[in-house]
Structure 1
């Protein structure tokens, strides 16, 4: 884009002179000159075209001189800058021009190399001013947007929270409904808190957030906030302690201090490694300590934990907005990237500083320290004892324990492995699916992969963003491991873009549902997958029990089953081939072979071996081979036993079968 320049000079030849000197830059669109021969004419141009970048102003002009015009510039074009170009180059004129806002001063006669450099420097400065103004305008628009959207969110959230609170207080509320209502309440409050954090960040960015100091008992205020986390800490087997060495009444911004303390405490508890079993009591080795100290001019809040720590690579960026460690880089859940950024910016706003120390080598742990300036309250300023935490803070309630899932399903009913790192969502889904299927649950991808290999479920329902092993990698392992490649995978994730869906499908996922999803849709998709699996099992079974159909090796779609049939074909006449030898040939355990074959055909491996032999025998009998030759060719020791097994499967003796008409498929 061309630099638009207004030249205000009453000399007659100035336009021709500048046009000649800068003809190349005018021709290639770098400079766009306009000319005014008087201050009044310039004023009219500035009013009609307020988008000039640079003004080149002479001082001595008719009607309105350059210095007077210069004083009007902030009103008419606040983002433009003026360069005085004048023969009046004495110090008084230079100082007057600079005091009135001139960006630079060029003396006549003009050195055009110097003028060119001055124009470029001035244009660059104007560009920076406009970019800064654009950033400020966008920040104001974002703040306005977040103000509006927060209001829009708060109304429906209020209409969720208020009725739920009323229902929870009903004396005759069925106990079966209470867990779901508590889940609604807890997550609605969490959503409201996330919205408020985004709003705070937007206000900070726009410079609209102010510090509001009020007198209060800071120690008691923080103690109440910490006590709100005790139930959650106990559920997770964490010893949460609070110590304060700051008695008295102080002036502090209660809302901002609550934001800071809440985020540091929530992070410390959230990123503690999960327990393998429900704790009977808090574990002294799993600790979160909150320590408040300070003096007359400064307070110090330290939140320390004995978690896994933060890696050196991630440590410098943890306070960056929306920064998240790469998936799989930690064994812990991925956060939103908002909380710690808000901690730092609120701390900075109040004139303090925040620091962190962490180690990932034993003894592991992380300590956040926030230091804020602190003033004692005047004796005349009454303190507020036991100040209540802000109502926008979500209650850090423990998640209800996982329900006892029904165990009266038939052993051959479908088995679902549910993998979700959000404990509450995992519990909810398990509770909803348990009446329909056998359900096993895992808290992360690595734990889920072990469970899948042990149990060989019919379907895996998995989140994508998980610690240790994400859903994409888990899907790849399932679909590229012979023992598990038949297992269907349904991915549940908040990552719903087209490219992310393609990533999941390329790894082999059978279904991909974007959160939030309808439970009914999940149930229907599971039903459809299981119906397809049952149809395939029926088809594979019929290929053995109905000799009029094509050979299994010619039509079977499953690659692993085809490999199994190839092994059987290779050892067809070997009567010593049994389940153990077949498992060795396929490089898997007897237990895995049993479950894999049952999942694909509803047959035990021994039944499959025998039925495959008999299916091949049917073709040999049709081709004219004798009963005895056929029996030995398919691995039976005696024709009599062969005849008995053949009749049990096909309801005809081998001799009857060889002369019977061939039924149509």
Structure 2
């Protein structure tokens, strides 16, 4: 294995000396030297060439010296190790360098036998560090796999358990149906338990799979599976064609493995194809049968094609972020193909006029003379969830605008639509398919509660909550985190980010409704506390605003701004919005959400409450009117009477 060494020294003849001394190792590829003259140039090289293993650096150099370079190395490449090269009499600096993290040192004049031993020792150490880093990356990849598989399995379980639970709550449900639904729920919960046990293992083990050959109509069998995907293709307006060129008849084949291979290939083809279509061909080959699944999707870059069948590998997440899965589907396809004694190949094109991917499976099969009933397959409960954009489900126009507004942020289309259908009878609903869309909708609509998934493309649930809580316009919004991750660390992180509730999938719909009701009731209690001082003149003016909440802090800031311009009749809502770094629309919605008042009404009521205090201090009505920003005493008297049901003088007499 080649060791790449960066020599940093301002002595001009040192490069020639090293090239001469290590000529055999350089020629055979054992060592690869890079030579620079100062620390700044070394930093640039290290940023451009992360595969450098070892830095040989002088201490005393013009510009950036070796000690400064040493301090910067850990920021650029934590795996690289530094050997200091300096004069024997510079022991103080050598000791300082070792204390700062240098791996070793050698002194000038250089003893090259000592240098070679030092390089070899450092090389072995760096090699061990890189192996450890690779193992850590593999562990992280496995952790991501288990996280993703949890999400992917728990979401369909939610779509099973929640409707079943709701059906079982019906009082007059027929007994036979009740027994069947109870059995469905029992088995779904058992499946959930098995998933949790699988996650406790924290690794996948390869298991020997037996061949289970069945006699049947292979072209017809493949056609049945293709037909199951036609609704999914139709949702995305994709064409799905099937051309069976294999002669009709009965064949000996493993139906289960063929089904799994086809399901993976077809689901991927639909998932990564936005326009055009998918074609499936089944044709004879010299050894048996060939299966081609070709799409007009986004394609796979050539440099990633060799790795797509590796377990846990995922193609370029920046390009396929919305489709992130477990990275195990194609690995399973390859293992199944090998177990069938066949091969799987892939060709792909990215960009241009004809992008797309073509998977070709070739498997030996045996034709059977005697005709028997074709093999049939049970219809799967849920094949795939193609990433098809879904518009907001319209809330019935008869619903009042005063109903609480709930934002549902969920990337799983069916679960999102299920939640909307259940909640729309009680609340106004907005939806978003990922965290980024959720953030934009929340900023625009200022919902009362956000229900968000955790694992989503573009912006996950943690990041969405952090943005909501960091923005003054949205920091008051309550958040329910609804996720498949049930480990304590995720729960603690979610609550630390600012989530008000943490529910795990599968969830019980009644529990979600109850938590929503409690959150909304809590918000209404806060509104009542904020509004109490305005209704009763004797109340402390700041009793609501000093509550230790984001809403209380915002209102305190609002009141401070009004107080600072209390006698200014020209104070406007636009002025307040500028001071609070919001636009007028956002300020209106936030103030109305917190107090059920408009910003203008809140300013006016604050002035009226301050007027009460000024009147108590002995100011007459005219003085008070001007001190609290009214342009005329007569207008002040009229507004005061409308709000307190008595004139200022009548109030003073009491």
**Per-residue deviation, 1:603:** 0.1
**Per-residue deviation, 1:364:** 8.7
Please name the residue that 2:218 is paired with. 218
Please name the residue that 1:267 is paired with. 268
| Rounded Cα–Cα distance in structure 1 between residues aligned with 2:642 and 2:350 | 65
1:555 counterpart (523, 546, 570): 546
Contact 2:452-2:482 within 8 A present in 1 as well: yes
1:609 counterpart (599, 603, 609): 603
Q: Deviations over 1:563-603 (max 9, x none)?
A: 22222222222111122332233232222121111101100
Secondary structure in structure 1 of the residue aligned to 2:498: coil
Q: Deviations over 1:606-641 (max 9, x none)?
A: 111111111222222222222222211111100111
Contact 1:328-1:468 within 8 A present in 2 as well: no
Larger Rg belongs to? 1
**Per-residue deviation, 1:336:** 4.2
Match status 1:573 vs 2:561: no
Contact 1:355-1:370 within 8 A present in 2 as well: yes
Match status 1:246 vs 2:246: yes
| Rounded Cα–Cα distance in structure 2 between residues aligned with 1:456 and 1:355 | 50
| Rounded Cα–Cα distance in structure 1 between residues aligned with 2:481 and 2:352 | 35
**Per-residue deviation, 1:219:** 2.5
Please give the residue correspondences for 1:510-659 in structure 2 after superposition, counting only pairs within 5 Å: 510-552=500-542, 555-556=546-547, 557=549, 558=551, 559-659=553-653
Contact 1:628-1:639 within 8 A present in 2 as well: yes
Alpha-carbon distance change, 325 to 563 in structure 1, aligned in 2, over 3 angstroms: farther
Match status 1:477 vs 2:474: no
Please give the residue correspondences for 1:298-309 in structure 2 after superposition, counting only pairs within 5 Å: 298-309=288-299
| Rounded Cα–Cα distance in structure 2 between residues aligned with 1:494 and 1:638 | 62
Please name the residue that 1:441 is paired with. 431
**Per-residue deviation, 1:507:** 1.6
Q: Deviations over 1:251-305 (max 9, x none)?
A: 43222111101121123334556xxxxxxxxxxx242222333422253323233
Contact 2:409-2:453 within 8 A present in 1 as well: yes
TM-score by length of 1: 0.62
Contact 1:327-1:465 within 8 A present in 2 as well: no
Please name the residue that 2:339 is paired with. 349
Please name the residue that 2:36 is paired with. none
Please tell me the root mean square deviation across aligned C-alpha atoms, in Å: 4.0
**Per-residue deviation, 1:308:** 4.3
**Per-residue deviation, 1:525:** 0.7
Alpha-carbon distance change, 575 to 359 in structure 1, aligned in 2, over 3 angstroms: farther
Please give the residue correspondences for 1:129-148 in structure 2 after superposition, counting only pairs within 5 Å: none
Match status 1:369 vs 2:359: yes
**Per-residue deviation, 1:382:** 2.5
Matched length: 468
Q: Deviations over 1:394-450 (max 9, x none)?
A: 464999999764332221110111111122211221111111111122222222222
| Rounded Cα–Cα distance in structure 2 between residues aligned with 1:314 and 1:503 | 34
**Per-residue deviation, 1:312:** 7.7
Alpha-carbon distance change, 425 to 365 in structure 1, aligned in 2, over 3 angstroms: farther
**Per-residue deviation, 1:496:** 0.9
2:329 counterpart (339, 343, 354): 339
Secondary structure in structure 2 of the residue aligned to 1:550: coil
Alpha-carbon distance change, 392 to 340 in structure 1, aligned in 2, over 3 angstroms: farther
**Per-residue deviation, 1:314:** 7.2
Please name the residue that 1:388 is paired with. 376
Please name the residue that 1:233 is paired with. 233
Secondary structure in structure 2 of the residue aligned to 1:587: coil
**Per-residue deviation, 1:487:** 0.9
**Per-residue deviation, 1:352:** 2.4
After superposing the two structures, state which structure 1 stretch, 458-467 or 563-572, moved more: 563-572
Secondary structure in structure 1 of the residue aligned to 2:499: coil
Contact 1:297-1:374 within 8 A present in 2 as well: yes
Secondary structure in structure 2 of the residue aligned to 1:299: strand
Alpha-carbon distance change, 606 to 204 in structure 1, aligned in 2, over 3 angstroms: closer
| Rounded Cα–Cα distance in structure 2 between residues aligned with 1:321 and 1:398 | 22
Q: Deviations over 1:79-116 (max 9, x none)?
A: xxxxxxxxxxxxxxxxxxxxxxxxxxxxxxxxxxxxxx
| Rounded Cα–Cα distance in structure 1 between residues aligned with 2:212 and 2:567 | 89
**Per-residue deviation, 1:653:** 2.0
Please name the residue that 2:415 is paired with. 425
Contact 2:285-2:362 within 8 A present in 1 as well: no
Match status 1:457 vs 2:458: no
Contact 1:327-1:467 within 8 A present in 2 as well: no
| Rounded Cα–Cα distance in structure 2 between residues aligned with 1:211 and 1:234 | 34
Q: Which runs of 5+ in 1 are unaligned?
A: 1-156, 274-284, 661-665
**Per-residue deviation, 1:524:** 0.9
Contact 2:481-2:501 within 8 A present in 1 as well: yes
**Per-residue deviation, 1:544:** 2.9
Contact 2:546-2:556 within 8 A present in 1 as well: no
Contact 2:337-2:363 within 8 A present in 1 as well: no
Q: Deviations over 1:21-61 (max 9, x none)?
A: xxxxxxxxxxxxxxxxxxxxxxxxxxxxxxxxxxxxxxxxx
Please give the residue correspondences for 1:192-203 in structure 2 after superposition, counting only pairs within 5 Å: none
Q: Which runs of 5+ in 2 are unaligned?
A: 1-156
| Rounded Cα–Cα distance in structure 2 between residues aligned with 1:363 and 1:479 | 45
| Rounded Cα–Cα distance in structure 2 between residues aligned with 1:364 and 1:483 | 46
Please name the residue that 1:13 is paired with. none
**Per-residue deviation, 1:323:** 5.5
Please name the residue that 1:255 is paired with. 256
Please give the residue correspondences for 1:95-110 in structure 2 after superposition, counting only pairs within 5 Å: none
| Rounded Cα–Cα distance in structure 2 between residues aligned with 1:533 and 1:477 | 20
